[in-house]
């Protein structure tokens, strides 16, 4: 798993609790943006059938479905907008 905020690698078998912090930047790790089920555009931005939405995706929560994301996840935010990100992904389908 990589920290969503600073990109620091977190060992694969490190248990992530609600109070777990990134050793590099000190930000919370048990957040939607670090979860393998986080899926912008899905119902409540989650591929799991959660009972209620998590409004702040950058804050620790008690979601029972949390599983650390595997590998590096592409960010849809930052310098590129969502449209640009989607366009780049679409165009990459037709590159040789």
Residue 45 CA: distances (Å) to CA of 20, 59, 93? 22, 15, 24
- The range of the structural domain enclosing residue 37 comes to 1-96
Q: Which of 2-6, 22-26, 92-96 has the lowest mean pLDDT?
A: 92-96
List pLDDT tens digits, range 65-95.
999 998 755 444 444 455 666 777 788 888 7
List pLDDT tens digits, range 44-64.
999 999 989 999 999 999 999
**Interacting residues of 42 by C-beta distance below 8 A, sequence separation 6+:** none
Q: Rounded CA gap, 61 and 57, in Å? A: 9
**Count of domains in the chain?**
1
Query: Mean pLDDT, to the nearest integer, of 5-29?
Result: 92
3-state helix, strand, coil in the chain (%, to 5): 20, 10, 75
- Supply the pTM of this predicted model: 0.70
């Amino acid at each position: 798993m990589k920290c969503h905020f600073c990109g620091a690698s977190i060992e694969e078998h490190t248990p992530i609790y609600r109070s777990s912090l990134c050793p590099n930047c000190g930000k919370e790790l048990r957040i939607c943006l670090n979860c393998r089920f986080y899926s912008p555009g899905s119902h409540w931005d989650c591929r799991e059938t959660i009972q209620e939405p998590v409004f702040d995706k950058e804050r620790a929560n008690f979601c029972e479905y949390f599983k650390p994301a595997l590998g590096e996840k592409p960010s849809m935010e930052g310098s590129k907008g969502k449209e640009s990100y989607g366009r780049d992904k679409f165009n990459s389908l037709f590159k040789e």
